[in-house]
Amino acid sequence: MNKLASRRRVLKSTTVGLATAVGLPLLDCFLNANGNAMAATDGKKAGAPLPVCFGTWWQGLGLNPGRWIPEKVGAGYTHNVELKPLEKFTGRMNVISGTKYFLDGRPLETHTTGLQIASMGRIPTGVNTVASLDSEIADVIGKNTRFRSIELALDGSRASVSKRAGSATNPSDPSPEALYARIFGPEFRDPNAADFTPDVQAMARRSVLSDVQDERMSLAKELGASDRARLDEYFTALRQVEQQLDIELRKPDPLPACSASAKPTDIKTGREVAFVEQNIKMFGTLMAHALACGQTRVFNVMVGSLGLRKPGTTQSWHPLTHEEPIDDALGYQKEVTWFIDFMNRGFASFLTELDSIKEGAGTVLDRSVVVWQTDHGYARTHTIDALPIFTVGGAAGRLKTGIHVSAAGDPATRIGLTMQQAMGVQRGSWGGLSNETSKTFTEILA
């Protein structure tokens, strides 16, 4: 009875403000005894754990040296002052300090080179690039979801770190409203709905896509190698549309913690901090529901730090990093540090949303890992060493947490390799030239 009562509370917490569409008998029917794995449905084996999810958080402009590195290395560290907003996640996150980006004689494109190395492991030599690590991971863990990955930008732009191989950048959804429509619009199928009737229009559309496939494929014969590669990207993209239709036409497996997110209202997008603060929470809620509903397993958040600003001021975050004098009394740039604190609180707010959807004994955050990376160790002087890196979430038991790893002078790409291996990407080394590494952070791999 206690178990049932506790599940009732769980249900209540996941459906606040919404009509409760999920009944308790359904919950009992589909969860295993521990509540963290699927019961047998549609011929699937009982007890399959809920799948792992992977997220990135790209926050440019670094942190303040000396204010974020924990004193203690190893397990049981305590957060330094700048990471206090993330204190409640201490035991569930890892801090990695000391890594760097290597230029190998190439010019430093400030605020760009770091992003390229962190996401692709190398500085590209042209427009065509390798896929970013989230795409590599999505190809392993996200193949059967409605969205291979979801990208979102907090500043109202379409900017994104996520790239497919070639020249395709997966654009961000610029507003919670747009993302809501994409995930929870009319094409969303509630996995817990009692009835399921395949949509006739969707059936016809799926059939049409098959019918015209040969005609579309014929183009490949006329193209050179590089354009054929671009056409391949087109077909990869098309497969997602086909897959979305396939998913729409199939009765989904029940996911007890799933409920459609409430529709975001009063949306204002842009670079003003008030808008960003509101949208972090809305985006966080949407992503939490999307993950709980199995719509995707990979997401990428672009903060858009450079242009963030307070209304009525002449400076945004980026120019401030270069132009604000260091406060003599404080020993750091006061306004810049305000932005750092603002966005660290924002990161905590986003994580809190992921943590608010309970799945048995754990939460959506517990079966996810979110990797926080940045472009410069210290934006004021564009340093590319002593970089802060964080991971939050245990990735469904694939990662150990609560550890501070000091990796002075090592390539920052070690985290990308570690994440790919943790997510099941078959890869022994990753990166280019001096950024190539075959060393994972074994300290955090479970």
Partner 1 sequence: MKQMHLIAVAVCAALASCAPAEDKVSGAGTTAGVAPVVAGEATMRRLTAEQYQNVIADLFGDTIELGGRFEPELRVNGLMAVGASSVSVTAAGMEQYDMMARRIAAQIMDEKRRALMMPCQPADAKLADDACARQFLAESGLWLYRRPLTDAELGSYVTTANKAAARLGNFHDGLAMSFSAMLASPRFLFRQETLEPDPAHKGQVRLTAYAKAAQLSFFLWNSGPDRALFEAARTGEIHTPKGYAKQVDRMIASPRLERGVRAFFVDNFHFDEFSLLTKDAEIFPKFSAQVLADAQEQTLRTVVDLLVKRRGDYRDIFTTKKTFLTQELAAIYKVPVAEHGPNGSPDIWQAFEFSKDSAYGGVQSQIAFTALHSHPGRSSPTIRGKAIREILMCQKVPAPPGNVDFKLVQDTNNPVYRTVRQRMDAHATNPVCTGCHKITDPMGYALETFDGGGAFRTKENGADIDASGTLDGKQFKSAMELGKVLHDSPATANCLVNRMASYATGRTFKREPWIQAMEQGFAAQGYVVPELMRAVALHDVFTRVAPPAQQAAN
Q: Which of residues 228-257 bind partner 1 (CB under 8 A)?
A: 229-231, 233-234, 236-238, 240-241, 244
Based on the shown chain and the rule CB under 8 A, indicate whether residue 327 belongs to the binding site for partner 1. no
Query: By C-alpha distance, which of 66, 31, 69, 25 is closest to 48?
Result: 31
What minimum distance in Å lies between the beta carbon of 379 and partner 1?
10
Based on the shown chain and the rule CB under 8 A, indicate whether residue 109 belongs to the binding site for partner 1. yes
The SS3 of residue 277 is: helix
What minimum distance in Å lies between the beta carbon of 160 and partner 1?
9
What minimum distance in Å lies between the beta carbon of 172 and partner 1?
9
Based on the shown chain and the rule CB under 8 A, indicate whether residue 107 belongs to the binding site for partner 1. yes
Q: Pick between residue 28 and residue 324 the one whose CB is nearest to partner 1.
A: 324
In this structure, are residues 233 and 168 in contact, taking their beta carbons and an 8 Å threshold? Answer: yes
- Contact positions with partner 1 (CB under 8 A) in 20-49: none
Instruction: Please state, in angstroms and as integers, the Cα–Cα distance from residue 230 to each residue in 69, 168, 234, following that order.
Output: 43, 8, 6
Q: Pick between residue 54 and residue 89 the one whose CB is nearest to partner 1.
A: 54
What minimum distance in Å lies between the beta carbon of 155 and partner 1?
8
- Exposure of 72 by Cβ count < 10 A (0-12 exposed, 13-18 middle, 19+ buried)? exposed
Based on the shown chain and the rule CB under 8 A, indicate whether residue 128 belongs to the binding site for partner 1. yes
Backbone angles phi, psi at 64, to 5 degrees: -90, 125
Residue 283: both structure tokens together: 């985006």
- Contact positions with partner 1 (CB under 8 A) in 81-100: none
The site string for partner 1 over 378-417 (x = CB under 8 A, - otherwise) reads --xxxxx---------------------------------
In this structure, are residues 300 and 161 in contact, taking their beta carbons and an 8 Å threshold? Answer: yes
Instruction: Please state, in angstroms and as integers, the Cα–Cα distance from residue 422 to each residue in 95, 176, 370, following that order.
Output: 17, 30, 12
The site string for partner 1 over 291-320 (x = CB under 8 A, - otherwise) reads ----------------x-x-xxxxxx--x-
What pairs with residue 298 in β-bridges? 54
Based on the shown chain and the rule CB under 8 A, indicate whether residue 215 belongs to the binding site for partner 1. yes
Non-local (6+) Cβ contacts of 3 within 8 A are none
Which DSSP helix (H) or strand (E) runs through 392?
A: strand 387-392
Name all contacts of 27-30 with Cβ < 8 Å and 24+ positions apart: 27/256, 28/4, 29/254, 30/254, 30/256
Q: Which residue in the set 82, 173, 177, 355 belongs to the binding site for partner 1 (CB under 8 A)?
A: 173
Stretch that binds partner 1, among 80-88, 162-170, 188-196, 357-365 (CB under 8 A): 162-170
Q: Pick between residue 86 and residue 302 the one whose CB is nearest to partner 1.
A: 302
Based on the shown chain and the rule CB under 8 A, indicate whether residue 356 belongs to the binding site for partner 1. no
C-alpha–C-alpha distance, residues 160 and 358, integer Å: 29
Stretch that binds partner 1, among 8-16, 122-130, 250-258, 427-435 (CB under 8 A): 122-130
